[in-house]
Amino acid sequence: MLMENRRWAFFIPNTFTALNMACGFAAILHGFHGEFYKACMFIVLGAVFDSVDGRIARMTNTQSSFGEQFDSLSDLVSFGVSPAIVYYFRFLDNSGRPGMVAAFFFILCGALRLARFNANIDKNKSDYFQGLPIPGGATAVVAMILLSLNIPEIVDYRPITVGYLIFYAILMISNIPFPSFKKSDWVKKNKKQVLMVIFLILGSLFIYEEVMIPIIITFYVVISLLYFLTHRKKFEGIFEWHEESEI
């Protein structure tokens, strides 16, 4: 009986990982049919499932190498392939080869980001991400798509939409530190304020997600970049060990 319960404990987090992948697949199908809002919401839902599976694995003490690899494969589908394809159908469908190359470049950078993370999983800093996490890149893609649903004229500015996709792809494979807030002293000292901010963000997302998702991801990226540029000495050597890996 104990062994059977143990097997179920391993099954639950992997189920959420599979649901994450299913959301990515559903987003691709909706994007193909031009249902871009639904496609974006499936990517967002996939991010919710992705945040749950790891927490359940830690709570049930069922972390495994299989789970880590399955999670990465799922993330590549949901946050690499899926947003790139939906973005392509929204902005780059008539751009010819440059559009295809830009969409593929985002997928490639997402795959490299995940491979680098897995290769250095025992060395990764829990307080800072090495480069923008792939869910963050996917969120940025979703943000631009949602923004274009409110401002359709964006679709006509091809150089901007192509540059935007490439910019976030490069951020994923960069060595720029992005805060994870896992070991933030400020967060630990101000738990009530942080909780209030989280509730405000969730409430605003529920009311007007088309605007709030672009605002939140843009704010996070801009503040992270500004902090990095103004505190470069603090981050010197933080990812020195990445030279030991192939990427």
- What does the pLDDT look like over 15-34, one tens digit per residue? 889 999 999 999 999 999 99
Interacting residues of 87 by C-beta distance below 8 A, sequence separation 6+? 103, 106, 141, 144, 145, 161, 165
Of the pLDDT bands very low, low, confident and very high (cuts 50, 70, 90), residue 243 is very low
**Euclidean distance between CA atoms 234 and 128, whole angstroms:** 12
**Euclidean distance between CA atoms 137 and 159, whole angstroms:** 19
Other CB atoms within 10 A of residue 112 CB: 17
Q: Which long-range contacts does 96-104 make (Cβ < 8 Å, 24+ apart)?
A: 98/162, 99/158, 99/162, 102/162, 102/165, 102/166, 103/165
Burial per residue of 197-206, b for 16 or more beta-carbon CB atoms within 10 angstroms, e otherwise: eeeeeeeeee
Higher pLDDT, 125 or 22: 22
Cα R_g (the chain), whole angstroms: 19
What value does the mean pLDDT take over residues 23-47?
96
pLDDT at 247 > cutoff 90: no
**CB-CB contact of 218 with 136 (8 Å):** no
What value does the mean pLDDT take over residues 75-97?
94
177-179/128-130 β-pairing: antiparallel
Q: Is 238 helix (H, G, I), strand (E, B) or coil?
A: coil
Instruction: Kindly give the interhelix angle for 134-150 and 97-119, rounded to the nearest 10 degrees.
Output: 150
Q: Look-up: residue for tokens 């798509």?
A: 145
**Euclidean distance between CA atoms 114 and 197, whole angstroms:** 29
Q: Quick one: what percent of the chain has pLDDT higher than 70? A: 86
**CB-CB contact of 81 with 24 (8 Å):** yes
Of the pLDDT bands very low, low, confident and very high (cuts 50, 70, 90), residue 53 is confident
Of the pLDDT bands very low, low, confident and very high (cuts 50, 70, 90), residue 242 is very low
Global pTM exceeds 0.75: yes
User: What's the mean per-residue pLDDT of the chain?
Assistant: 86
Of the pLDDT bands very low, low, confident and very high (cuts 50, 70, 90), residue 211 is confident
- What does the pLDDT look like over 145-177, one tens digit per residue? 999 999 999 999 999 999 999 999 999 999 999
Kindly report the CATH number assigned to the domain that includes residue 149: 1.20.120
Domain that holds residue 183: 2-244
**Euclidean distance between CA atoms 10 and 156, whole angstroms:** 48
Number of domains in the chain: 1
Higher pLDDT, 10 or 114: 114
Q: How confident is the model at residue 196, as a pLDDT? A: 79
Of 6-15, 46-55, 115-124, 171-180, give the lowest mean pLDDT range.
Answer: 6-15
* Signed CA dihedral, 160, 144, 118, 100: sign only: negative
Q: Which long-range contacts does 211-216 make (Cβ < 8 Å, 24+ apart)?
A: 211/146, 211/147, 211/150, 213/44, 213/139, 213/142, 213/143, 213/146, 214/143, 214/144, 214/146, 214/147, 216/139
First vs last Cα of the chain: how many Å apart?
Answer: 45
